[in-house]
Structure 1
Amino acid sequence: MYYIGFDLGSSSIKVALVDEKSGKSVLSLHEPKNEMDIASPQTDWAEQNPNIWWDYICKATKRIIKESQIDASKIIGIGISYQMHGLVVVDKAGKPLRNSIIWCDSRAIEIGNRAFVDLGEEKCTTNLLNSPGNFTASKLKWVKDNEPEVYKNIYKYMLPGDYIAYKLTGEMKTTKNGLSEGILWDYKEDKVADWLLDYYGIDTSLTPEIVDNFTNQGNVNSKAAKETGLPEGTPIVYRAGDQPNNALSLNILKPGEVAVTGGTSGVIYAVTNSLKSKESLRINNFAHVNYSNEKKNLGKLLNINGAGILFRWLKNNLSVNSYEEMNLKANEAPIGSNGLIVIPFGNGAERMFNNKTIGTHFLNLNLNHHNHSHLCRAALEGIAFSFVYGMEILKNDNAKVDVIRAGNDNLFRSEIFSNTVATLIGHDIEIYNTTGAVGAARAVGLKDGDLESFGKNITKNDHIMTFTPLKNRESYKTAYIKWNQELESILKTKQI
């Protein structure tokens, strides 16, 4: 028997099949071969047609059944991971009324900021654990204000994963987890934040029916079965946003466990059971995949926009052939890069700096002394230092750190990067070879609540290596202090 997992990203649809008993990945693939289009009708807008997602779900599902050569009738459960914070609005027939306003669209920033002031910081941080910000609720308010003809025809609003579940089952439902990602969940009252919707003038009946995670959330209907090749009646038992799901994929489910991701941007995601936040403007707090009335597990998410994109920029401009070559060059330079410092925040506004644009800075560059090796090492160190800086913010916001796990992505393949982070934070970093689609598929098996077996299978199937803090911590600490001093000097000029 098999589980199937979908990971709806903004660039592609990933799908994975895993063996029910062992948790081993049978096959993973993605559609389309090239990236999906993102429409940008205006500067800082980002939209996608939800029906395109469904088309690629169908293609990818048929492909994986064919290429894996399995009997489709043996697929017994579905898990869904999806791009967070997006907005899909549909009419009573389930037809999207406009493109989805996706996660990286920033048109609703001022709407959320104004709500934070009008409703009060204490009310928002106590009940929502966040500022309304540029999230799903604020995007829905934007539609109401700017597209009244669309708004008056809305039957339900959904998160992207809710829409895929609807296409599979014909049932419009959501979860506490999804509503929390849209900043629509009141943790104090344990219900939808209707007071926020009332403030925005949004009809509260537009919220779909709420179902629990790790339970039957609906079954594949005959129409979806024909379009995807899945067996009619297959249950959906799990759905979550991509970052909480990535954490689950790394067996990050308990307070004190932390997932880190080092791609184009960086993410630190710490699980906690503390319903408090002092950093609601710099950190996002979401109901984790296993949030319940009995165990109120939250995910504290700190995002670093300027991460791997800096290393990619260097690769493209240093005439080197690969990241491996850059890592080798970086190894030729000493810890601290002989004084060369790189501040890596050149990928737009940084939330942890109150949405200010910091920029990338190359400091203390000596044209008679520094070379490619120093640039490569200083870049890796600068990105690593930003992770350490972010970890300190999380720790100051009631996050405990006992275990850190990362996927085997670009940055964490680098020994310099991983050793720097591990040594400065004083914790091992465990590296795993897994994906969001595989994690979503495995999560189907959690309906019986067996976290221990779930974790053992991940360790057995995916663990690659562990980076342990190095003994010569002082050299790393000295380099980090100098980096931090330069950053603080820049922040003063930005009045942060």
Structure 2
Amino acid sequence: MLLLGIDIGTSSIKVSVVDANTQQVIISGQYPEQESDIIAKQPGWAEQSPEMWWAHVQQAFNLCKKNATFNPQDITSIGIAYQMHGLVLVDKDQQVLRDSIIWCDSRAVEIGNDAFEKLGHEFCLSHLLNSPGNFTASKLAWVKQQEPAVYARIHKMMLPGDFIAMKLTNEITTSISALSEAILWDFQTNTVSAELMELYGIDAALIPEIKPVFSDHGRVSAEVAALMGLKAGTVVSYKSGDQPNNALSLNVLQPGEVAATAGTSGVIYGVSDQLTYDPQSRVNTFAHVNHTAEAQRLGVLLCINGTGSLNRWTKNLFGAAINYAQMNDEAAKTPVGAAGIRILPFGNGAERMLNNKIVGVHLHDIDLNLHHQGHIFRAVQEGIAYSFRYGLDIMRSNGLHPSVIRAGKANLFLSPLFLEAFVNATGVPVELYQNDGSVGAALGSGIGAGTFSTAAEAFENIKPLQLVTPTNTAAYEPVYQSWLGYLNKQN
């Protein structure tokens, strides 16, 4: 019995085929090899083509079929993880009306801020657990204001994972978790927020059918089955935003458990059983994958927009001749603090933890006679680690105090230097696992389809690879305070 997981990332699409009996990966495929483009028609804008995602899903799955001996007909369920907060719009024929306005797009900041004032801070925080901010609902309001002809043709609005499920099944569904990340869910009434919908003038008919995260979201159509080699009628039984899904993949489901990622963006995600919120909405609270009205499970999310993206930008700046491993080696030859260089890694749109300000990347105190590329490589990774510390301190002020953070051994967590900087800057050990988003989505599909009787059963064979503990906090703390001084001048 096989499970298929699909992870709709910003940079690429990854799929994994997992053996349900062992929870082990049979094969994974990723497409494209080079990172997908983000369309930026204006400063602060960020869009991608949903049809590109769908084409890349097929290409990634074709790589799996080409390079492994498994029968696609043995796949019994499909799970989907996806980049959060994106807006996808389709007409009544399920045709895409415009490119998706994705998570790091900043065009709706003022719309969300205005809604925060008009609805009232107390109402938004107690009912929505967030400011409407720069989230999916505010992006839809932007379309209504700026592209009325497009808005008039909308049949359904979706998150990116809802769109891929639609392409597989021809069915359009969503979940409370998805609507909460769109800032459309009222946790006090357990319904779509009538007040926000009315303020934005959004027709309730645009909201898809709401189903549990772990449930039947449709069956693979005969046409798609023939196209991909799957069995017609295979159930799509799980859909989740990438960060709740990453937490699931690390078996972070209960109050007090915490997960982290450091890919294109950086995230710390902790689980709470309280309807908690940050008074300034610098960190955000959404319904976790296992949330119900009876047993509340909320994901408290810190997001830093530009972590891996800054590391990639730095690599590209220094030319194709250098790779990430070489960057790490060069950085490791330099001392803690990068001989005085400080980098603020905030160049990928409005940062929620900085009150939705667009701060930009700042590089401070280069000495042309002293510093070389290794110092810059180290300053980049340290600057990213310090941004995690800054956000974690906000989470601590709101009652989340992790004793250990679980992370997948991927992206920046592959770098020993980044791991050292992260644990020593935050003072929290990191437990590393091999799982990734596509594997988590596959296991989630097994939970949703009933292949596993409980979530615990789905992860019984998933063991940690490594525990990294703080050993040199005394060296990192003064550097962090210096870095913080530069941030306070910008913020």
TM-score of the two chains, using structure 1 as the length reference: 0.90
**Alpha-carbon distance between aligned partners in 2 of 1:293 and 1:368, rounded to the nearest angstrom:** 61
Q: Are residues 156 and 312 of structure 1, via their aligned partners in 2, closer, same or farther at CA, if it must alter by over 3 Å?
A: closer
Q: Is 1:89 matched up with 2:93? A: no
Letter in 2 for 1:128: L
Residue 315 of structure 1, CA deviation: 4.1
**Alpha-carbon distance between aligned partners in 2 of 1:481 and 1:180, rounded to the nearest angstrom:** 35
Native 8 Å contact 2:161 2:239 kept in 1:
yes
Q: Is 1:71 matched up with 2:71? A: yes
Helix, strand or coil at the partner of 2:431: strand
**Alpha-carbon distance between aligned partners in 1 of 2:254 and 2:17, rounded to the nearest angstrom:** 26
Matches within 5 A, 1:219-258: 219-258=219-258
- Of 440, 455, 459, which aligns to 2:459? 455
Please name the residue that 2:160 is paired with.
160
Matches within 5 A, 1:196-215: 196-215=196-215
Q: Which range is displaced more, 390-399 or 261-270?
A: 261-270
Q: Deviations over 1:32-64 (max 9, x none)?
A: 444445444444333334333333333443543
Q: Are residues 31 and 356 of structure 1, via their aligned partners in 2, closer, same or farther at CA, if it must alter by over 3 Å?
A: same
**Alpha-carbon distance between aligned partners in 2 of 1:55 and 1:89, rounded to the nearest angstrom:** 17
Please name the residue that 2:409 is paired with.
408
**Alpha-carbon distance between aligned partners in 2 of 1:373 and 1:38, rounded to the nearest angstrom:** 28
**Alpha-carbon distance between aligned partners in 2 of 1:144 and 1:429, rounded to the nearest angstrom:** 44
Helix, strand or coil at the partner of 1:79: strand
Q: Is 1:430 matched up with 2:409? A: no
Helix, strand or coil at the partner of 1:303: strand
Letter in 1 for 2:469: T
**Alpha-carbon distance between aligned partners in 2 of 1:348 and 1:163, rounded to the nearest angstrom:** 24
**Alpha-carbon distance between aligned partners in 2 of 1:479 and 1:334, rounded to the nearest angstrom:** 11
Q: Deviations over 1:403-461 (max 9, x none)?
A: 311222342233332123223433220122332112111112223452333333221xx
Please name the residue that 1:177 is paired with.
177
Q: Which range is displaced more, 473-482 or 14-23?
A: 473-482
Residue 365 of structure 1, CA deviation: 4.4
Native 8 Å contact 1:256 1:403 kept in 2:
no
Q: Deviations over 1:70-127 (max 9, x none)?
A: 2222111110111211222222332233333222333222211111111111111111
Native 8 Å contact 1:214 1:237 kept in 2:
yes
**Alpha-carbon distance between aligned partners in 1 of 2:193 and 2:14, rounded to the nearest angstrom:** 32
Please name the residue that 2:333 is paired with.
332
Helix, strand or coil at the partner of 2:459: helix
Q: Are residues 478 and 47 of structure 1, via their aligned partners in 2, closer, same or farther at CA, if it must alter by over 3 Å?
A: closer
Q: Are residues 238 and 25 of structure 1, via their aligned partners in 2, closer, same or farther at CA, if it must alter by over 3 Å?
A: same
Q: Are residues 338 and 111 of structure 1, via their aligned partners in 2, closer, same or farther at CA, if it must alter by over 3 Å?
A: closer
Q: Is 1:6 matched up with 2:10? A: no
> Any unmatched runs of 5+ in structure 1?
none
Native 8 Å contact 1:424 1:477 kept in 2:
yes
**Alpha-carbon distance between aligned partners in 1 of 2:101 and 2:311, rounded to the nearest angstrom:** 29
Please name the residue that 2:322 is paired with.
321
Residue 467 of structure 1, CA deviation: 0.7
Please name the residue that 2:31 is paired with.
31
Q: Is 1:20 matched up with 2:20? A: yes
**Alpha-carbon distance between aligned partners in 2 of 1:354 and 1:414, rounded to the nearest angstrom:** 30
Q: Which range is displaced more, 153-162 or 325-334?
A: 325-334
**Alpha-carbon distance between aligned partners in 1 of 2:417 and 2:59, rounded to the nearest angstrom:** 40
Native 8 Å contact 2:77 2:235 kept in 1:
yes
Matches within 5 A, 1:48-63: 48-63=48-63
Please name the residue that 2:144 is paired with.
144
Helix, strand or coil at the partner of 1:456: coil
Q: Which range is displaced more, 175-184 or 318-327?
A: 318-327
Native 8 Å contact 1:269 1:302 kept in 2:
yes
> Any unmatched runs of 5+ in structure 2?
none
**Alpha-carbon distance between aligned partners in 1 of 2:240 and 2:307, rounded to the nearest angstrom:** 24
Q: How many corresponding residue pairs? A: 487
Native 8 Å contact 2:258 2:405 kept in 1:
yes
**Alpha-carbon distance between aligned partners in 2 of 1:295 and 1:366, rounded to the nearest angstrom:** 56
Native 8 Å contact 1:61 1:229 kept in 2:
no
Q: Are residues 164 and 316 of structure 1, via their aligned partners in 2, closer, same or farther at CA, if it must alter by over 3 Å?
A: closer
Residue 191 of structure 1, CA deviation: 1.2
Identity score, percent:
48
Q: Are residues 464 and 116 of structure 1, via their aligned partners in 2, closer, same or farther at CA, if it must alter by over 3 Å?
A: same
Native 8 Å contact 2:385 2:418 kept in 1:
yes
CA RMSD, 1 decimal: 2.5
Native 8 Å contact 1:137 1:184 kept in 2:
yes
Q: Are residues 413 and 60 of structure 1, via their aligned partners in 2, closer, same or farther at CA, if it must alter by over 3 Å?
A: closer
**Alpha-carbon distance between aligned partners in 2 of 1:329 and 1:97, rounded to the nearest angstrom:** 47
